[in-house]
Amino acid sequence: MIRHRLTEARRVLQPAARLRDQAEALADYLNVGDTVLDVGCGTGRASRVAASVAGAVVGVDLSSQMIAKARELAIGIGNVRFDVGDVDRLPFDDGAFTAVLCSNAFHHYPDPQRAVAEMTRALAPGGRLVVGDACSDLTAARIADRILRLVEPGHVRLYRAAELGAFLQQRSRPGSRPRSRGGRPQAA
Ligand SMILES: C[S@@+](CC[C@H](N)C(=O)[O-])C[C@H]1O[C@@H](n2cnc3c(N)ncnc32)[C@H](O)[C@@H]1O
């Protein structure tokens, strides 16, 4: 039992490496020529990975400090730019992007349904919304979630994989194919 709990805790508490991998995992869903929006881009790692695949990438983040750092780290990459913006009111036209990424940021959004609605609004018909985030399916993750809600400013909550999938499905367009991979990004 103790061994099981330790294994479970290790799986949750090794996120640094897993989150580094996440940018690459999200890029699997991109096509050459995509115009990509990376929401909650932070310092822009997923945006930079996306820029190596896609035609053009815009990273957007609530924090102007994150955007300043993202711009610095992307110097020399010609097809990526960064803007300050809130997922609740994305400063982009309807259908402006063929793919929207959200890497390790969904648990920060106070109104998840609104966030998905906004990200979907920014998608062109036939576009892909790809969300990768930690989930609370494991007991250790639920414990970590409770602690993070107390100690980490901006941490709203982790969701179970099925809840995350349901948010995406509620907004998916007729004919779309929501997909889920355990511990991996979800695409709709
Ligand atoms: C854990 S970081 C993830 C950064 C990056 N996507 C990555 O995978 O490394 C979460 C980011 O979400 C941003 N964020 C939080 N609330 C947001 C909101 N309402 N709108 C846009 N970005 C937000 C934070 O400023 C932070 O940079």
Write phi, then psi, for 61 (nearest 5 degrees). Answer: -150, 150
Q: Is the pLDDT of residue 19 over 60?
A: no
Q: Which domain holds residue 59?
A: 2-187
Segment 41-52, tens digit of pLDDT = 999 999 999 999
C-alpha–C-alpha distance, residues 11 and 134, integer Å: 11
From ligand 1's centre to the CA of 160, what distance in Å?
19
CA angle 180, 185, 188 (to 5 degrees): 60
Q: Is the pLDDT of residue 188 over 60?
A: no
**Strand blocks (E) in 31-79:** 35-39, 56-61
Look at residue 99 in the predicted model and tell me its pLDDT. Answer: 97
* Number of domain units in the chain: 1
Q: Check which CATH number belongs to the domain holding 106 and give it.
A: 3.40.50.150
Look at residue 5 in the predicted model and tell me its pLDDT. Answer: 40
Radius of gyration of the chain (CA): 16
Segment 88-134, tens digit of pLDDT = 999 999 999 999 999 999 999 999 999 999 999 999 999 999 999 99
C-alpha–C-alpha distance, residues 83 and 68, integer Å: 9
Is the shortest distance between the CB of 86 and ligand 1 below 6 Å? yes
Q: Is the pLDDT of residue 27 over 90?
A: no
Is the shortest distance between the CB of 102 and ligand 1 below 6 Å? no
Is the shortest distance between the CB of 47 and ligand 1 below 6 Å? no
